[in-house]
Amino acid sequence: MRFVFVVLLGLLVFTPKAKSADEIRADLLIVGGTESGWASAIQAARLGVPRIVIVHDGRWLGGQFTEQALACVDENKGVGKVGWGVDWHPMKRSFHRFGLFKELMDRIEAFNTEKYGSPMPGRPHHGPSTFRPAEAEAIFREMLNPYLANGQVTLITDRYPVRADVDRSASIPELTGLWFAPVDSTVADLHVQAKLTIDASDWGDAIQVSGAAFEYGPDPPSRYGEPSAPENAPPNEMNPITWAMIVAESNDETPIEKPKRFDDRNYPRATRFSLDTYRDLDWDVDNIHLGAIKHWPDAKETSNRQLTVYSVRRIVEGRTSRDGKTAILLNYMNGQDYPLERLPAHVAAALDATEPGASTKNIVILSRPQREIIFRDAKQHALGVLYHLQNFVHDRAADKTNSFRRFHLSDEFGTPDHLPPKPYIRESLRLKAMYMMREQDGRNRDGATKNKATERYAAVMYPDGLFAWQFHYDFHRTGRTYLVSENIDANAKHNRSENKGPWIDYHKPLRHTNFLSDRSVFPLRSLVPEQFNGLLGAQGNVGFSSIVSAAIRLHDQRIHVGQAAGATAAVALRSGVTPRQIPYDRELLESVRHALCGEVESSTAILLWPFRDLEPSHPAFVAINRLAALRLLPLGLRDVDFRPDDPASPEWIAKVVARSDQTQGPAQWTGGSRGEFCRWWWPRVEQQGWESWQIQDHSTDDADGDGIPDRDDALLFTPNTPIRFEIERRELPPDRDGVPQPIDDLDRAIDFCGPNVRQAAGFVADRGQVFQRERGFGWTQDHQQNHRSRNRIEGPGDTFLFTRSRARWECLLPNGNYRLTVCVGDSAHDQSSQSVSFEGQPLIDQHDTAEGEFIEATGEVAVQDGVLTMDIGSGIEGCNTCVNWLQIQGPL
């Protein structure tokens, strides 16, 4: 007898099958209990959708948080939250947490505090927030339980869709229902009919069985005109999967068994010991750029936040937590990732035995049994990392205190192999949507790579944006290379006929992490199929290119996508419209934004506009976001901070009023902050109604009449030319660009820089050394560690020496009057309250500089004792003074 598993209040209730298939009617069907499906259900339930059904092909809620074991969250801790990760990591400079993601993480961190004594108990290098997957799953379930308890939501597990009901009587087909089979069968035992369906599954299951159009694999340059789209990439190339592992500290040594087909040569990047031994293996691809990190910390450094295999994604640090036991997430790109092209020969043979040519098909369109063949090998490859650490690395490490031999695979998943139920899935199918987001819409334009990036908004801010996002276009290594010596003709380099033996992954051209998005918004159109009704995308199954999918795949983004889909569905259902009508109707679009930002007062609102400094707890958060989304706030390209508590100047108010040209001026406004004005002004805008804001369509497929079909028009209602990627050089005035002006009669020019930095032409380098009379200049205290080189701009403005308090620099000069020009600033970060004085006379007094901007100040001083004295630093806590260069003219 078959059963349908209905989950109520976290308990499995078994309902016996009474007919050929159990029938359920719903307003909203959600396929997938992933983080996106979970968020869709809660958002829709909060908005009053009465009958919601989630059907999931597993038993754990939470997707990559839980059943994929991605237990280290590295995004959105808020402005200035550093001390972890690498300097270029964009999540250091993105947003404060918002929406359901914030609600979830607040609960996780509260649980961590109670159990472990810290909200972030892992002290990882790449983090900072961590959790045990089973404990996070309990919190996902706890947050859904109120809607399960009141009957609004029904959760059915261990089912996947096998066929669809599609009404084809109209010009656009409509999905009306799905049939589901148990995960170990192909025979349907559940039929759900629904007014709307959201596909939040891992592999776009509902989209595939419905017949809605979708894409997968690399997009050629001809498809979307993306600047980094690869030519002639194989169709099965994808961002790799990874079988993550949670390992927990044991009381004694607990090594795992040797995995099938294990070979240490698979893991030359695993640690420095590994690389030292296997650096010179003969791979059949050249220039694969090997690198490695330390294996584990020595005993005296165990608890520190540091870059080792042990601590890069440590989720509980045992020495500092109440738990007393360390737990580690192994999700390690230096050996654990599993590319999806050039599959190993034994995997390809097993796939081709099920279907000729299956080994060259994209994993998206493989059957569940076929994917399982790949998954089995990916598990063995991941286990090989742990085995390599527990044996090869253990044998070579002098300090074995933190050896992985004292760790075992966690049993929290309840699986026979102690591994998570699913791999980490970075890329799935892509719904062919009303609009497909392209790389050129959002890629940073300050330079060719992220090293030149400064804070700014994207070139395209979609008019139907529903939430803020930013990340780099993050491709792990998508290629696979094998040893020449293990294949048929060892003398024929690049013979790829066999694909046998050890392999490693490598970055293929244009598949890397060197490109960064600017601050962007996610368009509603990318949730809606181009030519299919009754269906919305979520999780990774939405309208973007393969390149953009690499930038919108993180924990927070998947939850935001789910919330956006849930809100869109709720508004469509309550208004009796199809989702495709919403972007063209101002009242409906603003209803979705209201649903996400302000309608449910007990929830945390969504950040609609990508401000850096705006927290959801701010009283004006909703008003500011709603006004910004309507483009009623005067915002320049780089105005990423709203500064809600700054005074609202008459000039600024006048600009807001001018943009709200259908409203009367603020005659009754009595003064206050910018945030307070927004709270006062927004209700007046909203009360007008939306008739005067309605969007005028020029045609059914070209709303703005610019000759670009709507499906390809990023700026749907603004006539424009096709969006192309172009580097935009920042134009700054000469006294703000950090570039010294040539001066004929210079006495000397000083470039303040660190070691191993080539000094600028015409300058003498000061590298922070203490003053020496023989050199003729220097500091009263050693500043050789206080240096930065940003690699953002050319010339001495890119480097600087700095102080967080106060510092003095001296230079031998004959007595007389001198003209001095000094430059302060930072090409990569904002700096505040910078101060410089000469001979006790302030030249720069507590001045702020934005990222990429400088202050070049000129003044005259008299030297009377043979020594020019420069003092830098304001002494204000938390403020740096960054001095770049100094030009000295004279004596005059």
Nearest 10 degrees: Cα torsion 310, 315, 319, 325 = -100
Q: What secondary structure does DSSP assign to 636-705, as a single string?
A: -TT-----TTSB--HHHHHHHHHHSTTS---TT----BHHHHHHHHHHHHHHT-SGGG----SSSS-TT-
- Beta strands per DSSP E along 183-313: 190-199, 214-215, 241-242, 245-249
- Cis ω before 128 (30° cut-off from 0): yes
How distant, in Å, are the alpha carbons of 439, 471, 632, 637 from that of 458? 11, 12, 18, 8
Contact 165, 177 (CB under 8 A): yes
Whole-model pTM over 0.85: yes
Question: Residue 386 and residue 408: Cα distance in Å, rounded?
Answer: 9
640-653 tens-digit pLDDT: 999 999 999 999 99
Determine whether domain 746-889 maps to CATH 2.60.120.430.
yes
What pLDDT is stored for residue 730 in this prediction?
78
What pLDDT is stored for residue 543 in this prediction?
98
Residue 146 phi/psi, 5° resolution? -55, -35
What pLDDT is stored for residue 81 in this prediction?
43
Question: Residue 658 and residue 700: Cα distance in Å, rounded?
Answer: 31
Residue 351 phi/psi, 5° resolution? -70, -45
Tokens of 315: 């989720």
Residue spans of the chain under pLDDT 70: 1-19, 75-93, 488-497, 662-665
Contact 208, 429 (CB under 8 A): yes
Non-local (6+) Cβ contacts of 688 within 8 A are 662, 663
Question: Residue 380 and residue 395: Cα distance in Å, rounded?
Answer: 22
Nearest 10 degrees: Cα torsion 240, 243, 249, 251 = -140
How distant, in Å, are the alpha carbons of 331, 371, 377 from that of 241? 10, 11, 11
Nearest 10 degrees: Cα torsion 417, 418, 423, 424 = -160
Contact 181, 4 (CB under 8 A): no
**β partners of residue 749:** 887
Contact 680, 666 (CB under 8 A): yes
Q: Boundaries of CATH 2.60.120.430 in the chain?
A: 746-889
Tokens of 300: 């005296």
Tokens 């063949």 label which residue? 373
- Cis ω before 891 (30° cut-off from 0): yes
Contact 473, 517 (CB under 8 A): yes
What pLDDT is stored for residue 599 in this prediction?
96
What pLDDT is stored for residue 664 in this prediction?
61
Q: At what angle do helices 650-659 and 674-687 cross, to 10 degrees?
A: 20
What pLDDT is stored for residue 20 in this prediction?
79
Q: What secondary structure does DSSP assign to 250-271, as a single string?
A: -SS--PPPPPTT--GGG-TTSS
Question: Residue 601 and residue 614: Cα distance in Å, rounded?
Answer: 18
Question: Residue 180 and residue 312: Cα distance in Å, rounded?
Answer: 40
The total of other beta-carbon atoms located within 10 Å of residue 50's CB is: 12
Contact 803, 873 (CB under 8 A): yes
Tokens of 831: 């700096």
Burial class from Cβ neighbours inside 10 Å (0-12, 13-18, 19+) for residue 168 reads exposed
- Beta strands per DSSP E along 71-123: 72-73
Give the DSSP H/E element, type plus range, for residue 477.
Answer: none
What pLDDT is stored for residue 569 in this prediction?
98
**β partners of residue 838:** 841, 870
803-835 tens-digit pLDDT: 999 999 999 999 999 999 999 999 888 899 999
**b/e map of 647-657 (b: 16 or more CB within 10 Å)?**
ebeeeebeebb
Contact 57, 81 (CB under 8 A): no
The total of other beta-carbon atoms located within 10 Å of residue 175's CB is: 27
53-110 tens-digit pLDDT: 999 999 999 999 999 999 998 765 445 443 334 444 444 557 889 999 999 999 999 9
HSE on the CB side for 695, CA within 13 Å? 25
Contact 413, 420 (CB under 8 A): yes
Instruction: Output the furthest CA–CA distance in the chain (Å, rounded).
Output: 102
**β partners of residue 831:** 849
Chain centroid, CA 517 distance in Å? 10
What pLDDT is stored for residue 749 in this prediction?
95
